[in-house]
Structure 1
Amino acid sequence: MEKVIVVGGGPAGIMAALKASEKNEVILIERNNEIGKKLKLTGGGRCNITNNRDIDEMLQKVVTNKKFLYSAFYRFTNRDLLDYFSSKNLEYKVEYDQKVYTGSDKADDVIKTLLDDLKNKGVKILYNSKVSDLIVEEGKIKGVVINNIEVINGDKVIIATGGKSHPQTGSDGSMYDILEKYGHKIRPQYAALIPLVIKEDFMSKLQGISMKEVVMRAKVKKKKFEQMGDMIFTHFGISGPGVLKLSSYINKALENDDITLTLDFLSDKSREEIRNIIRSNPQKTVINNMKGLLPQNFLKQIISLCDLEEVKSAELKKKDENKLISMIKEMTITARETLTIKAAMVTSGGVSVKDINSSTLQSKIVKGLYLCGEVIDVDAETGGYNLQIAFSTGNLAGRLEE
């Protein structure tokens, strides 16, 4: 029996500790006074455990380094994860877009289930303990240093310290410096699944308006990206599930330049169909003819932006009609930047996958050192995929295969 140290009590670290404990003595080191602090934030506090799609489809939702995750995803699938929770009597439900949530809508129930299992498997948890260094001798891990003072020796170490998003939960990126010191390449970190800051002044007039199933398009050099989802206009720009997904594909490019976005608020209708609705009753105002087509507060604002508040359909000029339809079918706005990484749901970037064996998640640089979860340069769209990455990579790392 070997002594295994797991650093980080988030979903990846917990799953790694549970798997490793099947054959080893395990110590889980957590810098907070509780485990799963960031897990509580997922799904708006409801905990979007995973997604119910087939694993092949799940992999297509991975934004960065999807091939690296093949072994992890197939050796511990979303079905395996849900079977695990079912075996612990945790109820779950599948909702819109195949998102899986706890039956109670409480992330605390997931954390309690995992904590109980850790206790049952004899995992020792050290709370309020921050790993300040690794102990590496002749290219092999020998243990860790916590709080700059105490040495804990171990045969294997699993790093699951997360990225830089939501640093108040403990994932402040400090482990990157330690790993870099021992030879690992650290890829630049970017905010992923993050609202976008928009240049145009008229955004402020739309603040607070929510829109359903908007098609959002962006072009970065020769690559085109498209996402559909709900969105909301904010005081700084745009947010919402669709925007968050799109942000993960354009976040790196935003470091160097602004990006033009086009928004289609009625993707199920052609320009001609909208034109016919606008002209349906010549004696009514444009906004009356359009009533029910889109949220009324949105219609009021875009008609105001086009200076068409009291204009009747019969009086509507062709150029104004085209301008209005364009506002609906291809509103053009400019993304200037994302919000800071501290506000991101996920970190894009981290330990280079080239330094990690994808079949075992053991470091290629330091023998006996394993990495899992958000600390690695992998990220996915919103919808439970990033949590599945955490659980799957945690399970694979916890196998401690050479």
Structure 2
Amino acid sequence: MSKVIVVGGGPSGMMAALAASKNNHEVILIERNEELGKKLKVTGGGRCNITNNREIEDFFEKVVTNRKFLYSSFYTFTNTDLLSYFESNNLEYKIEKHNDYKVYTKSDKSEEVIDTLKNDLIKNKVKILYNKKVVNLIIENKAIKGVKIEDGEKILGDKVIISTGGKSYPHTGSDGMMYDILKNHHTLNKIYPALTPLTVKEAWIKNLQGISMQNVEIYCKIKKKKISKTGDMLFAHFGLTGPCVLKLSSHITKYISENELELNIDFLPSKTNEEISNIIRGNPNKNVINNLKGLLPQNFSKEIFNLLSLTDKKANELSKADELKIVEYIKCMKLTCNGTKGIKTSQVTCGGISVKEIDSSTMESKIIKNLFFTGEVIDIDAETGGYNLQIAFSTGYLAGISV
């Protein structure tokens, strides 16, 4: 039996502590906050998108950074295994098939997930230390021996699992402080915001603030490679946000940190140019914006007319040239993305400890013996849809059974 120290009481840390304790290890879980799962509590708007109900094989295409690294983790503890775990602990959940097969608690309360994990930790005699901030690692002869706490206390152990998260949502305690400690021993890949709103150069974008658009396609090209995402989006005074935008952001965040990028938005990807033209002309005695009412929000259509310096008129009075301009704008609005809203507003961190220095089959450091990593502290991230939480649970479980 080993003495295992887990640093960080988020989803990956709690799962690591549980897996280790169920393997008959003595486990101490150190949490810097006064409660467990503080970031988990606010995910999914408080609903907590636990995982996704797609086949585990489909998860890899949703991973943005270092997907191959996750093979052992995902297959050792799958989404099915996770849901079975919650079932066995009487947590009821629901699968929203209409919403990309996302899985939520039946009550839509993230607290239920936290309570389930916490009760299981207590049941398995995990010692939880609250309001304890780890400020350094105790390393001798390239082997971990324990951790140092802010008040000068030393906690010694045989194995240490780092589950401290990234830099997103810093108010929850996930402020990236552990990176400053770890970079003395490991390669730290540059940190970028992921799943974050995008800023846009065009000043007129603020005129569209608050307009929500459903099922759009946003695409761009980086070094001749086309990146395309579909889903809902929302115009904001600074640019763009919403599920489709957040997904796209993770794929372009490194590029736009130093470059501007042209975004193309197709607001009606299910309609051809010809079909939109027919709708515009649908009722010749009605105004064009009225004809488009069933397809697009009226305030959006009005702004398109303003941008094109057009006056709304009856369809039979609209010139063919102006009709083509309208259709072109609906099918391919061009915007200049010049950045993101930053790490504090991002849902996930891109970057972190290099996967080249971690054994993917155990999550143990290749540099420091008996030191393990889980979750967002590692340079791995995925799109929205429950995939990042599954990464947390899977890597946490694998580390926990490997100590």
| TM-score, normalising length: structure 1 | 0.98
**Percent identity of equivalent pairs:** 62
The separation in 2 between residues aligned to 1:288 and 1:168, in whole angstroms, is 46
Count of residues in correspondence between the two structures: 400
**Mean Cα displacement is larger for which, 303-312 or 93-102?**
303-312
**What's the counterpart of residue 68 of structure 1?**
69
**What's the counterpart of residue 102 of structure 2?**
99
RMSD, aligned CA: 1.0
**What's the counterpart of residue 10 of structure 2?**
10
**What's the counterpart of residue 146 of structure 1?**
149
1:298 equivalent to 2:300? Answer yes
The separation in 2 between residues aligned to 1:282 and 1:361, in whole angstroms, is 66
The separation in 2 between residues aligned to 1:162 and 1:7, in whole angstroms, is 10
Aligned with 1:194: secondary structure?
Answer: coil
Where do 4+ consecutive residues of structure 1 move more than 6 Å? Answer: none
**Mean Cα displacement is larger for which, 320-329 or 48-57?**
320-329
**What's the counterpart of residue 135 of structure 1?**
138
**What's the counterpart of residue 233 of structure 2?**
231
Amino acid across the alignment from 2:202: E
Contact 2:305/2:312, CA 8 A, preserved across alignment:
no
The separation in 2 between residues aligned to 1:232 and 1:146, in whole angstroms, is 43
Aligned with 2:231: secondary structure?
Answer: strand
Contact 1:132/1:148, CA 8 A, preserved across alignment:
no
Amino acid across the alignment from 2:55: D
Amino acid across the alignment from 2:101: Q
The separation in 2 between residues aligned to 1:287 and 1:258, in whole angstroms, is 33
Shift of 1:180: 1.4
Contact 1:50/1:388, CA 8 A, preserved across alignment:
yes
1:156 is aligned, of 159, 163, 169, to 159
**What's the counterpart of residue 20 of structure 2?**
20
2:202 is aligned, of 200, 208, 211, to 200
Amino acid across the alignment from 1:235: H
Aligned with 1:251: secondary structure?
Answer: helix
Shift of 1:308: 3.1
> Can you give the 5+ residue segments of structure 2 that lack an aligned partner in the other structure?
none
Aligned with 2:42: secondary structure?
Answer: helix
2:188 is aligned, of 180, 186, 189, to 186
For residues 1-400 of structure 1, the aligned pairs below 5 Å read 1-22=1-22, 23-95=24-96, 96-182=99-185, 184-400=186-402
Shift of 1:307: 3.2
Shift of 1:216: 0.6
Aligned with 2:402: secondary structure?
Answer: coil
The separation in 2 between residues aligned to 1:52 and 1:146, in whole angstroms, is 39
Shift of 1:312: 2.1
> Can you give the 5+ residue segments of structure 1 that lack an aligned partner in the other structure?
none
| TM-score, normalising length: structure 2 | 0.98
Aligned with 2:274: secondary structure?
Answer: helix
Amino acid across the alignment from 1:242: C
Cα separation, partners in 2 of 1:308 and 1:164, compared to 1, 3 Å = same
The separation in 2 between residues aligned to 1:234 and 1:310, in whole angstroms, is 25
The separation in 1 between residues aligned to 2:175 and 2:378, in whole angstroms, is 14
Aligned with 1:142: secondary structure?
Answer: strand
Contact 1:133/1:148, CA 8 A, preserved across alignment:
no
Shift of 1:76: 0.1
Aligned with 1:93: secondary structure?
Answer: strand
The separation in 2 between residues aligned to 1:132 and 1:373, in whole angstroms, is 19
Shift of 1:301: 2.0
Shift of 1:178: 1.1
Shift of 1:59: 1.3
Residues 197-247 of structure 1: CA deviation (Å, up to 9, x unaligned)? 011122111100000000110111121100001000001001000000000
The separation in 2 between residues aligned to 1:392 and 1:66, in whole angstroms, is 13
Contact 2:73/2:395, CA 8 A, preserved across alignment:
yes
Aligned with 2:234: secondary structure?
Answer: strand
The separation in 2 between residues aligned to 1:230 and 1:94, in whole angstroms, is 19
Shift of 1:319: 2.5
The separation in 2 between residues aligned to 1:68 and 1:354, in whole angstroms, is 9
The separation in 2 between residues aligned to 1:58 and 1:137, in whole angstroms, is 39
The separation in 2 between residues aligned to 1:19 and 1:291, in whole angstroms, is 55
The separation in 2 between residues aligned to 1:47 and 1:276, in whole angstroms, is 43
Shift of 1:303: 2.4
Contact 1:166/1:343, CA 8 A, preserved across alignment:
yes
Residues 318-348 of structure 1: CA deviation (Å, up to 9, x unaligned)? 3321221111101110111011101110000
Amino acid across the alignment from 2:3: K
Amino acid across the alignment from 2:7: V
Contact 1:279/1:313, CA 8 A, preserved across alignment:
yes
